Amino acid sequence: MEIGFIGLGHMGQAIARNLLKTGHRVTVHNRTRAKSEDVAKDGATIAEKPAGAAANAEVLFTMLADDAAVEGVLYGKEGAAAALARDKLHVSLSTISVALSRSLAERHGEAGQFYVAAPVLGRPDAAAEGKLFVVAAGKKAAVERARPLLEAIGQKLFVLDERPESANLAKLGANFLLAAMLESLGEVFALTRKAGIDPQHYLDILTTSMFPAPAYKNYGGMIVADKFEPAGFAMPMGLKDVGLALDAAKALAVPMPFASLLRERFVEGMAAGLEKSEWAAIARIAARDAGL
Amino acid sequence: MEIGFIGLGHMGQAIARNLLKTGHRVTVHNRTRAKSEDVAKDGATIAEKPAGAAANAEVLFTMLADDAAVEGVLYGKEGAAAALARDKLHVSLSTISVALSRSLAERHGEAGQFYVAAPVLGRPDAAAEGKLFVVAAGKKAAVERARPLLEAIGQKLFVLDERPESANLAKLGANFLLAAMLESLGEVFALTRKAGIDPQHYLDILTTSMFPAPAYKNYGGMIVADKFEPAGFAMPMGLKDVGLALDAAKALAVPMPFASLLRERFVEGMAAGLEKSEWAAIARIAARDAGL
Amino acid sequence: MEIGFIGLGHMGQAIARNLLKTGHRVTVHNRTRAKSEDVAKDGATIAEKPAGAAANAEVLFTMLADDAAVEGVLYGKEGAAAALARDKLHVSLSTISVALSRSLAERHGEAGQFYVAAPVLGRPDAAAEGKLFVVAAGKKAAVERARPLLEAIGQKLFVLDERPESANLAKLGANFLLAAMLESLGEVFALTRKAGIDPQHYLDILTTSMFPAPAYKNYGGMIVADKFEPAGFAMPMGLKDVGLALDAAKALAVPMPFASLLRERFVEGMAAGLEKSEWAAIARIAARDAGL
Amino acid sequence: MEIGFIGLGHMGQAIARNLLKTGHRVTVHNRTRAKSEDVAKDGATIAEKPAGAAANAEVLFTMLADDAAVEGVLYGKEGAAAALARDKLHVSLSTISVALSRSLAERHGEAGQFYVAAPVLGRPDAAAEGKLFVVAAGKKAAVERARPLLEAIGQKLFVLDERPESANLAKLGANFLLAAMLESLGEVFALTRKAGIDPQHYLDILTTSMFPAPAYKNYGGMIVADKFEPAGFAMPMGLKDVGLALDAAKALAVPMPFASLLRERFVEGMAAGLEKSEWAAIARIAARDAGL
């Protein structure tokens, strides 16, 4: 199949490569050309402009950092949306706002194009191994068309309902749960470390008993080691996603006091110079505030 | 071995029965005699007073609701502490304050008695099946003496350090993590339910992907079903434990903003008449505050 | 002087009338024409479009609800910005974002126009009596040109520095302080009312002793009377302004945990159906959460 | 009149001197004798033990740091309660818990003694000038007996209801309002300072317009000057009082999210080594967290 792929960060590169491995022809575009060249070594064709990636695509994937990047790539100069043919499909993998996803659904619909929101759960290493979890939503026909590709890039595909923005909200909710876990771990390790309890031993107890989930083990390990660089998912991304969850919650009139406190924690992290650190580094803020 | 056991709530009964099954002689005491009679059917001897349970014990277990109950049973009228012989061992299974545990260590030490703090992780059904996780701390010799009994009542024993209060703090930390998870789930389900996303489906996604831990599955299931009665661990217990974590944190000068917010959430639950509900019912508060 | 005035809500009408009283010629525009007609009775000329209010103006005032309204009026169809002549002055009285104010400064500068941000402190009744406090910022020459008009509409003019957005931030900060006071009063009256202390008596004590400020007296009076309708400054406006303060704080990497909690409180108020109530009605939420 | 006075900190000394000035005979006791000697220079008699201060007193005043001190002085060894004659009056000026005040009322009642809770609002300099505000509660007959003395030490006496603990709660509520104001000011000055706005100018604007209250001026002045030493009311006292408010709120099932956050802020202040600083130094924490 002819595939267009725009956005070749850590996640995007890994996913594009998996599509290539599955035997599809993939035309890639990335703002910084060097990253396109990396993927070209594995067989991708390079498009100089977003429009070039969309022009011949049956399915156009986008995997971008935020709302502004998605808007720009689709509707900016030489944008992809106008280049995508009628009846073709755009699959948005990015973690974007509920509001933008709803708006994309409308605009693609007006252009006679299909649209699926399919944000992914997992970090770059999981993406490379094809072990992402994919949460998709959109019109049934569109999702069915995307299904084989989404199954190829992840270990499991969950299909929500026919409103694409449901998938985006589900993703934002999952990231909020992770962020809340990070803050909780940060506080509890500040407490127990200051009490003289061995952090690694305590983490082992927690993850052997009540919390045997990879998220607790992996992020807990970072916190115990106090090692947050290089970042797979950096603090500004955490701040962005909690902000998007709060925006969605405000629009629906749902108070989220934990999310709100988390937002301030990430801001505190930015003020402390942790913008290049893994988002789990809010644990370092909890430790700092405890005088550790 | 001659064992004394004081405190026969859901947890205490289950643990005392497991000690009986292992072949020990167990003399039990409980404020409400009827519960002693239940366990007597399985072979326990009944003591009318706390002192009676301690008098001939090699090892005295206590499994009580809070600091006041422990203080009363040990040092009140016909209390167990004075009746326990020199060189014998008190194993405190209760979730009590760090300060009381430290004080018990001192007082038992002055009386030539041994003391181990061994709070347990798990709910009554896990206790019945011998599947608790036990976190113990205390002088090495004391812990070694307690070891076979603690291994008999749980699926795994973790031994921290030689300060008994370390085990209590570890337990309070774990309960704080659970409470934070409950609040996070409450907020995220308020958000997604108000957006029209199917709660059971969303829970399945979460627990199949990032959070495949029993705690997320079990409590998440309660929240999705909005069913919090009868309570295995009721809201006032949650309020108590978060309060004990905050007390310990204050004593150590460790700020815990999430814990602090949780405390208010449980207070809000009490004001809403949920004092007989499972502590997970703070999710009902999140839903109520969202107008659901 | 020829004055243009766009935005005739409670505040705008009162201010426009004061400008008329001072002897200026005022051309007004408002989206809903009826409000223009009200002010026309006092001598104003009506402009059908924003551009009409700006066309002949020496000074153009805008007093609008939010960023979107200001953007629309100035740069939308038949907008005021293009109609305002070179070398003329725009005075923005609205409580808008720091980012928009900075952007207006740039755009007016590029057009050879002058720009002053001059948000006002005070409620509609104060506006009617010319008792507002005005906080202005902008290039010195621009502020000096605006000075006589700003002195005419308020009891006192404060001039900050040469960056217009400083005035907007100062205003947002003042509104945050008011909102924090509202929440504090809400919590303390929930507490003392539930304890059986007479609210009016307690308010008298507070405002006679530590807090003899009109803000405490006026808003405290509403809270004691539990009367929040009709609203002079409604809850969505409070939510908007706290949100703008948080946006500015995020951009500067300043954590504001109180502001963040306040935001959730206003969201909770919206969920509770208080969108037409005075923002002080968050005290009703504090009471509700306490089971009152 | 024969007066006993126990507790000669900054506040106690000032009040005891005012009672002496009014012509009463005052027998003082303080744990550190040197402070008694200071007041003896102004005519007080020194009692070596609490009982000595109470023995001949018509009215016994206590002005102590916390619950433990009050308990100790009254019911400890050679305590004052047993020495106070039947039918005599104890006036507790201290900021103590609602629970202790209620308990004192009971115990004094059982001993045939009178009891009034009369906590004071104001700082040591106000105490010295007789400008405190006094909030009293208790049985009518008891309050009437205390009235002339309470009027002598303050500029205004407020009498609440017949439950002494009402006065304590009212005092805790006022201190909570002050603490909330401190945190709000801390956040808003962190924000505006980081934006480059002159702090002194901004404080002048705030206190000339919306917040012309001494509390805003005085504490705001400390924050602008970043000068919090020597402390008139030190951070541990703020932490204690917010804690007492939260204890009372928990007992009444009243959630107080702001109070809860404040508690963590004071804990953060303690961790930052500010235990000898004025409680307003939580503003320094807000600034630190903003990277200032």
**Cβ proximity of C199 and C224 under 8 Å:** yes
Q: What are the residues facing A264 on neighbouring strands?
A: none
Residue C24 tokens read as 């200026």
What percentage of chain A has pLDDT greater than the value 90? 98
Q: By the CB < 8 Å criterion, does C260 face chain A? A: yes
Q: Which chains touch D (3 or more CB pairs under 8 A)?
A: A, B, C
Quote the minimal CA–CA distance from A225 to chain D in Å. Answer: 22
Q: By the CB < 8 Å criterion, does D267 face chain B? A: yes
pLDDT of residue D124: 87
Long-range contacts of C217-222 (CB under 8 A, 24+ apart): C219/C178, C219/C181, C219/C182, C219/C185, C219/C280, C220/C185, C222/C278, C222/C280, C222/C283
Q: By the CB < 8 Å criterion, does B261 face chain A? A: yes
Q: Which of A247, A260, A266, A288 is the best mutation test for C, with the most CBs of C within 10 A?
A: A260
Q: What are the residues facing C89 on neighbouring strands?
A: C59, C114
pLDDT of residue A35: 96
Query: What sign for the dihedral angle of Cα A53, A54, A59, A61?
Result: positive
Whether a cis peptide bond, with omega within 30° of 0, leads into B148 is: no
**Burial annotation B123-134 (CB, 10 A radius, 16+ → b, else e):** bbebbbebebbb
- A171 among known catalytic residues: yes
Q: By the CB < 8 Å criterion, does B170 face chain A? A: yes
pLDDT digits (tens, 9 = 90+) for A186-221: 999 999 999 999 999 999 999 999 999 999 999 999
pLDDT digits (tens, 9 = 90+) for B104-126: 999 999 999 999 999 999 988 89
Distance (Å, whole) CA A181 – CA A173: 12
Distance (Å, whole) CA D111 – CA D85: 9
**Cβ proximity of A273 and A267 under 8 Å:** no
Distance (Å, whole) CA D246 – CA B264: 9
pLDDT of residue A123: 86
Crossing angle of the two packed helices D214-225 and D164-194, in degrees rounded to 10: 40
**Burial annotation B219-255 (CB, 10 A radius, 16+ → b, else e):** bbebbbeeebeebbbbbbbbbbbbbbbbebbbebbbb
How wide is the angle at C-alpha B27 spanned by C-alphas B90 and B75, nearest 5°?
45
Query: What is the average pLDDT across C71-90?
Result: 97
What percentage of chain B has pLDDT greater than the value 70? 100
Distance (Å, whole) CA C96 – CA C171: 9
Helix (H) or strand (E) holding B289: helix B282-289
Distance (Å, whole) CA C168 – CA A253: 26
Query: What is the average pLDDT across C266-284?
Result: 97
Distance (Å, whole) CA B27 – CA B76: 19
pLDDT digits (tens, 9 = 90+) for C222-249: 999 999 999 989 999 999 999 999 999 9
Query: What is the average pLDDT across C163-178?
Result: 98
Place of tokens 């003591």: B47
Could you list the beta-strand ranges (E) of chain A.
2-6, 25-29, 45-46, 59-62, 89-92, 114-117, 120-121, 132-138, 154-159
Query: What is the average pLDDT across C255-276?
Result: 97
Query: What is the average pLDDT across B152-175?
Result: 97
**Cβ proximity of D176 and D279 under 8 Å:** no
How many angstroms separate the Cα of A141 from the Cα of each of A24, A83, A88, A107, A114?
Answer: 21, 22, 12, 17, 9
Q: pLDDT averaged over chain A?
A: 96
Distance (Å, whole) CA C59 – CA A34: 52
**Burial annotation D123-153 (CB, 10 A radius, 16+ → b, else e):** bbebbbebebbbbbbbbeebbebbbebbebb
**Cβ proximity of A70 and A7 under 8 Å:** no
Under DSSP, is residue B92 helix (H, G, I), strand (E, B) or coil? strand
Q: Is A34 exposed, middle or buried (0-12, 13-18, 19+ CB in 10 A)?
A: exposed
Query: What is the average pLDDT across C194-217?
Result: 96
Name the residue of chain A whose CA is nearest to B292's CA. A254
Name the residue of chain C whose CA is nearest to D161's CA. C197
Report which residue type is found at D148: P
How many angstroms separate the Cα of C72 from the Cα of each of C10, C31, C52, C65, C80?
Answer: 20, 11, 14, 11, 9
Residue A3 tokens read as 């595939």
Q: Is A212 exposed, middle or buried (0-12, 13-18, 19+ CB in 10 A)?
A: middle
pLDDT of residue C124: 87
The β-bridge relationship of strands B89-92 and B114-117 is parallel
pLDDT digits (tens, 9 = 90+) for B217-257: 999 999 999 999 999 899 999 999 999 999 999 999 999 99
**Cβ proximity of A268 and A285 under 8 Å:** yes
Give me the residue from B257, B268, B291 closest to C271, CB to CB: B291
* B155 pLDDT higher than 90: yes
* B23 pLDDT higher than 90: yes
Q: By the CB < 8 Å criterion, does C268 face chain B? A: yes
How wide is the angle at C-alpha C55 spanned by C-alphas C51 and C56, nearest 5°?
155
pLDDT of residue D249: 98
Q: What number is the ipTM of this complex? A: 0.96
Measured between beta carbons, the chain C residues lying within 8 angstroms of D289 are 255
Q: Do B272 and C291 touch (CB under 8 A)?
A: yes
* D123 pLDDT higher than 90: no
Under DSSP, is residue A92 helix (H, G, I), strand (E, B) or coil? strand
First to last CA, chain C: 55
Q: What are the residues facing A59 on neighbouring strands?
A: A3, A89
Q: By the CB < 8 Å criterion, does B250 face chain D? A: yes
Distance (Å, whole) CA A288 – CA A162: 45
Residue D188 DSSP class: H
Q: Which chains touch B (3 or more CB pairs under 8 A)?
A: A, C, D
Nearest to B83 by CA among B123, B104, B62, B52: B52
Query: What is the average pLDDT across A67-78?
Result: 96
Catalytic residue among A77, A140, A156, A171: A171
Query: What is the average pLDDT across A86-100?
Result: 97
pLDDT of residue D115: 98
Q: Which of D252, D260, D274, D285 is the best mutation test for B, with the most CBs of B within 10 A?
A: D260
